[in-house]
Amino acid sequence: MFVKRLITILLLVIALSLNAQIKEQQLDNLIKETLTTFQVPGISVGIYKDGKVVYSKGHGVRSLTNKKDMNDETLVGVASNSKGFTCFALAMMVDAGKLNWDDKVRKHIPEFQLYDAWVTEEFTIRDLVTHRSGMGLGAGDLMFFPEGSDFTVNDVINNVKYLEPETSFRSKFAYNNNMFIIAGEVLKRASGLSWEEFIENKILKPVGMSSSKASYNRVSDKTNIIDAHTMAEGEVVQIPHDWSEIANPAGGIVSNVPDMLTWAEFLMNDAVTASGDRLLSEKQFHELWQLQTPLNVSANDSYNSNFKGYGLGWFVTDVKGGHKQVYHTGGLLGTVTQFTMIPDLDLGIVVLTNQMNGSAFNTITNTIKDSYLGYENRGWIEKYGKRNADYIKYNDSLKADVYAKVEKAAKLKNLPNPKHIVGTYTDDWFGDVIISHKAKKGYTIKSKRSSRLYGELLPLNATTFVAKWNDRSYDADVYVRFTYNEKGDAVSATMKYIAPITDFSFDFHDLELLKIK
């Protein structure tokens, strides 16, 4: 009797679960609505559940220029979802006896140096990949972001010593790409292979990710690859691919839905390939998903989470009743992606887009996830749609207010004479920034080492100007505040973004520009 009752209950639970799962047509309709709501040209989505792919489709177009359909095999830069691969590769080196997570970085890169001498000596490989360096969010990212600079990996290693910490070492989470660039160099020196060679030959190929490459420049067939898009002054526009090759360990991998679902299957099968080969020991695989740097869980968390934090290349949390969720997001200029796994449900979700609006992937991922966790429809597209519209409106209002003041400033009589402003300013890690002036044309500002950072410098008041970058897709205009000596000559300058929509990798606020000539 008991056994019969138990079987009945189990069948009921299974039936309820199946009924709760989002239907294919519902998901199709949701994605199409998401494209419109968030003005995304194309989105591809995949779901892996209980040992099989249950959804794999593309919607919209891969490019506003060629109007070709986005499909599930369309290649997309997965951006920071690459960090999980970097840490997997390092774990393979731990298995091989070539390094340990708690090795000091200087054991492998003797020239490595940070702002604080003690931190330099104590900094470990584990610290490189857990965002607890003490530096601020995105510190130093201007060395590779946007693409077009002449910085090298050696420059990054040399220059991080100039980045002053914002908090004490290991006390706070602050996302840092440059530490992953250095982690890639650790992998290179330990393995004898470049990061790209290692990722492709030791991970992508054995796992079965046959369409994926370790970087955009290694994709030889670009007939089915996205173009990047972003909102620029109220209009979605196509922009060039943008990612510096030196930052590949932080975000270089190019993949598609089938390959990322293969990656999900491999990971949820405890790092064993479809052919039965184990690429990582159980011990090291277990280590990857252990919490290293804690993060706060909000009081009104949507999934009743009890903990949240960062592991080794992965965010880790629990959702609805203790289901462990392992996930990451990624963002380049013009594209954002999301990769989510709930291993005890054997569930993997992939969302790849070609427009940099995270509300789109959150809408889709949360809706899919909710259907498997048993939540009723919680209207994510309405919630995120309103939040997104309000956020854009708020940022637009800030920018409009600033440029209205810029127009009025042209009539001010206390503006500095150009001879007090023009010249070369330098920052220890970013190099020279040149400010010029031509009669009737006004001021310009240009980075010497990052050639795409070039624009107008518009007076706002006696001490502050606005840098308006020529590439309007950056959405990263900044205040430039000068300090003067007793003669009225500018001696230094600092920067601060105008609107919070500015990507954190435009870390202009970390610059301390001193006038040198």
Looking at residue 6, its amino acid is L
CB 45 within 8 A of CB 367: no
Claim to verify: residue 508 and residue 416 sit in the same structural domain: yes
Claim to verify: residue 352 and residue 498 sit in the same structural domain: no
Claim to verify: residue 321 and residue 386 sit in the same structural domain: yes
Pairing assessment for the beta strands 76-77 and 228-232 based on DSSP bridges: unpaired
- Is the pLDDT reported for residue 1 higher than 90? no
pLDDT per position as a tens digit, 307-334 = 999 999 999 999 998 999 999 999 999 9
Query: Is 464 a domain residue?
Result: yes
Domains identified in the chain, total number: 2
Q: Show which of 330, 363, 392 is a domain's final residue.
A: 392
CATH value at residue 426: 2.40.128.50
pLDDT per position as a tens digit, 259-295 = 999 999 999 999 999 999 999 999 999 999 999 999 9
With tokens 């003690």, the residue in question is 118
Query: Is 477 a domain residue?
Result: yes
Claim to verify: residue 237 and residue 310 sit in the same structural domain: yes
CATH value at residue 333: 3.40.710.10
Q: Show which of 330, 358, 392 is a domain's final residue.
A: 392
Q: Show which of 344, 360, 392 is a domain's final residue.
A: 392
Asked, as a colleague might, if the bond just before 146 is cis with ω within 30 of 0, I would say yes
Query: Is 500 a domain residue?
Result: yes
Q: pLDDT at position 6, please?
A: 39
Binned at pLDDT 50, 70 and 90, residue 410 comes out as: confident
Question: What pTM did the predictor assign?
Answer: 0.93
Claim to verify: residue 340 and residue 464 sit in the same structural domain: no
Claim to verify: residue 216 and residue 300 sit in the same structural domain: yes
With a pLDDT cut of 70, the percent of the chain lying above it is: 96
Query: Is 16 a domain residue?
Result: no
Its domain, for residue 235, covers 21-392
pLDDT per position as a tens digit, 164-182 = 999 999 999 999 999 999 9
Claim to verify: residue 199 and residue 251 sit in the same structural domain: yes
Query: Is 7 a domain residue?
Result: no
Can you spell out the DSSP letters for 5-16?
Answer: HHHHHHHHHHHH
Query: Is 484 a domain residue?
Result: yes
CA contacts within 13 A on the Cβ side of 352: 35
Q: pLDDT at position 19, please?
A: 41
Query: Is 3 a domain residue?
Result: no
Return mean pLDDT, the chain. Answer: 94
Claim to verify: residue 238 and residue 327 sit in the same structural domain: yes
pLDDT per position as a tens digit, 173-223 = 999 999 999 999 999 999 999 999 999 999 999 999 999 999 999 999 999
Q: pLDDT at position 20, please?
A: 56
Claim to verify: residue 441 and residue 364 sit in the same structural domain: no
Claim to verify: residue 382 and residue 418 sit in the same structural domain: no
Can you spell out the DSSP letters for 106-154?
Answer: HHH-TT---SSHHHHHH-BHHHHTTT-SSPPTTTTGGGTSSS-B---HH
Claim to verify: residue 386 and residue 426 sit in the same structural domain: no
Average pLDDT over residues 411-421: 89
Average pLDDT over residues 298-303: 92
Query: Is 237 a domain residue?
Result: yes
Binned at pLDDT 50, 70 and 90, residue 472 comes out as: very high
Q: Which helix (H) or strand (E) holds 217?
A: none
Claim to verify: residue 368 and residue 438 sit in the same structural domain: no
User: Tokens standing for 332?
Assistant: 């380049």
What CA dihedral angle connects 496, 498, 504 and 509, to 10 degrees? Answer: 0
Largest CA distance in the chain: 96
